[in-house]
Chains A and B, each alone.
Chain A
Amino acid sequence: MDMSMRKETPLSGGLAGVTLGRPMALTLPVVVLAALAPWLVSAYELNLLARFLAMALLAMGLVLVWGQGGVLSLGQGVFFGLGGYAIAMHMKLAALADGDLPDFMVWSGLDALPWWWVPFKSPLVAILGVVLVPGALAALFSWAVFRRRVGGVYFALITQALALAFATLLISQQPSTGGFNGLTDFQTVMGLELGTPAAAHGLYWLTLALVVGVFVALRALMASRYGLLLRAIRDGENRIRFLGYDPTPFKVVAFTIGAVLAGLAGALFTLHAGVVSPALVGVVPSIEMVIWVAVGGRNSLAGAIAGTLAVNLAKDGVSSAFPDLWLYALGLVFVLVVTLLPGGLAGLVADAGATGWGKRLKTLIIGEAK
């Protein structure tokens, strides 16, 4: 399906980023630097960085789903939103005395808590919900579609319809979801006073630790036999079928992992941003998530993190100063990156390595000497 992938041989790693265990010259300093960020940047910048790192979790999931699995999801916002709403519901309830209702429910005339809110009073249910709700929905949804061998463009279109339906549903069920404004105004989470420097630092380090952990875990997964088969399915699903494998479970697992990471990302983002709303989960944000990964490089975990940071920093800079310009820029980035740079920034670095002049740079960044 994708030209750039045909070159890959299972052992070469390269774009697929499957080299495991090689010393990566840049990784350690970058992580140390990132861990010191609370003392290096302002509180506002730290908050931005924390949000972007949360989003990077989702982006790494897309590397597995889209880059490795060849499954384009235009509905990651749904899973991001489910994770975000799960933790937000808990924070709303935790701030209340028993029997009280969140303020927006009172305003819309509700006199009892909707049944599906009730379990989220428990912190354990909320934390499990962040992971399990998106995971279960994704597993069920993707299994229903993939088992009938509907994939590719069809799957992308169906996920987009999912994103649209989810956002519309959130907006229309205003009394129980907070509607267009979403859920906001959180005070504490798990006994942590939000808004204090201690909470900001703690949540930032939690996010960073998760990013590092997920990076390592996904790298190992991509280097495993599972990763190899996933790429093989991407490049020739029918051939893999003829070899006696059923591709469905491989794709379902990848999609589910992607959704779980999106849910985690959504929950952390909600904690950092202090709000979750339909504007973050609909069709347009969902497809923006894909562009983070496209810019960074759909087959590179490090690229996905870099792409997420780069696109969101640019968005933060451009859209506050020139809101109109941002949409033109975003549209143009879509067109240019996809047509001219399918490997993204990571592909550019890898190509530079292949042509010689940037070989050392490549070794430094990708950590691969082949």
Chain B
Amino acid sequence: MGEWPLIAGQIFNGFSVASLYVLAALGLALSFGLMRVINMAHGEMLMLGGYLAYLTLQVVPGPLGILAAMPVAFLGAAAVGAVLETTLIKRLSARPLDTLLATWGVSLILQQAARNIFGAIGVDVRAPQWLNHAYTVQSGLLEGLTIPATRLFILAVAFAVMGALSLLLARTRIGLLVRAVNQDRGMAAAAGINVRAVDLSVFCLGTGIAGLAGVVLALLGPVTPNVGQSYVVPAFLVVVLGGLGSLKGTAIASLIVGLFSALVQILVDVSLAQVLLLLFVIGFIQFRPQGVVAVRSRALDA
């Protein structure tokens, strides 16, 4: 295998990792734009999605089990999100840093619960037959490049979610309300919009999408109690890089983070890649502190 297939393979990997980051970060970014809070238990919504996929496949073992798992994971994670929002985040929304800490506590509890219920080692979700193969380039410049079908599936899911979400935000009445609250919370409330209901639905939507991401994640490796942690920290960096509550910003930032990590890993090992990614993020905010797409300035946030 020459150099080109390796680089092309890493670029493809970058895109598929980016699509996971986008699914993980969308909920964070949307809620952050609306309420200025970060849910540290967001990674556990991925974990929950993974375990729900595992459970669904116990009930529906056939080739379509994974498709059945997606709505289950979405609704399950959204329901947990609803509980979290109404019991905890609502009370703390005026104190963003405290929300961070309190939701971290929730994340610890959820992880430990998963450890007690499913065991520390993790469970396997087997990809169905129709996803369990890979495409290999047989000739030409990229000879030897192998693309697993699961990774294509992840890309497809991410594109579908992004498409649906942008339609929802741009074309529907709900989307109109979300955009209004995102732009000016006080004005939206004064115009009679039920701001709290918008907060809640966006939060649930975000955790639901994270649950969906958990299903795809389960196809890549075992679902463990801390599977969410490894994806949620890059997702946080995506939020830092993206703009406030901007769909486009989140997508572009995910691509940047995904491609950067994948390409750097051609040259250095995974741990150094993490350090370089962090340096890159700090370097990036020197030039664009407001994020990739700035809906509003961060300078006068307080």
What is the interface of chain A, defined by CB distance below 8 A to chain B?
1-3, 70, 72, 74, 141, 144-145, 148-150, 152-154, 156-158, 160-162, 164-165, 168-169, 171-173, 236-238, 283, 287, 290-291, 294, 324, 327-328, 330-335, 338-339, 342
Nearest chain B CB to A174 CB, angstrom units: 10
Taking CB atoms, residues of chain B closer than 8 Å to A160 are 233, 236
Chain B residues 234-252 with CB under 8 Å of chain A are 236-237, 239-240
Taking CB atoms, residues of chain A closer than 8 Å to B301 are 152
Q: If A153-B32, A331-B108 touch, does A169 touch B275 (CB 8 Å cutoff)?
A: yes
Taking CB atoms, residues of chain A closer than 8 Å to B167 are none
Beta-carbon contact of A161 and B278 below 8 Å: yes
Taking CB atoms, residues of chain B closer than 8 Å to A169 are 271-272, 274-275
Beta-carbon contact of B91 and A328 below 8 Å: no
Q: If A153-B32, A238-B300 touch, does A334 touch B108 (CB 8 Å cutoff)?
A: yes
Beta-carbon contact of B91 and A339 below 8 Å: yes
B121 within 8 A of A: no
B201 within 8 A of A: no
Taking CB atoms, residues of chain A closer than 8 Å to B94 are 3
How far is it, in angstroms, between the C-alpha of A342 and the C-alpha of B91 when the chains are bound?
12
Nearest chain A CB to B237 CB, angstrom units: 6
B13 within 8 A of A: no
Nearest chain B CB to A358 CB, angstrom units: 25
How far is it, in angstroms, between the C-alpha of A348 and the C-alpha of B207 when the chains are bound?
35
Which listed residue (A144, A236, A290) contacts B286, Cβ 8 A?
A144
Which listed residue (A237, A283, A338) contacts B98, Cβ 8 A?
A338
Report which residue of B94, B271, B289 has the largest number of chain A beta carbons within 10 angstroms of its beta carbon: B271
Beta-carbon contact of B240 and A3 below 8 Å: no
Instruction: Say whether chain B's binding surface is mostly helix, strand, loop, or mixed.
Output: helix
Chain B residues 91-113 with CB under 8 Å of chain A are 91-92, 94-98, 100-102, 104-109, 111-112
Tally of contacts, chain A with chain B, CB under 8 A: 140
Taking CB atoms, residues of chain A closer than 8 Å to B289 are 148-150
Beta-carbon contact of B95 and A331 below 8 Å: no
Taking CB atoms, residues of chain A closer than 8 Å to B108 are 327-328, 330-331, 334
Beta-carbon contact of B109 and A165 below 8 Å: no
Taking CB atoms, residues of chain B closer than 8 Å to A338 are 92, 98, 101-102, 105
Report which residue of A152, A238, A330 has the largest number of chain B beta carbons within 10 angstroms of its beta carbon: A152
Taking CB atoms, residues of chain B closer than 8 Å to A171 are 271
Beta-carbon contact of B278 and A145 below 8 Å: no
Taking CB atoms, residues of chain A closer than 8 Å to B272 are 169, 172
Taking CB atoms, residues of chain B closer than 8 Å to A173 are 271
Beta-carbon contact of B109 and A144 below 8 Å: no
- Which A-chain residue is minimally distant from B109 (CB atoms)? A331
Which listed residue (A156, A238, A324) contacts B302, Cβ 8 A?
A238
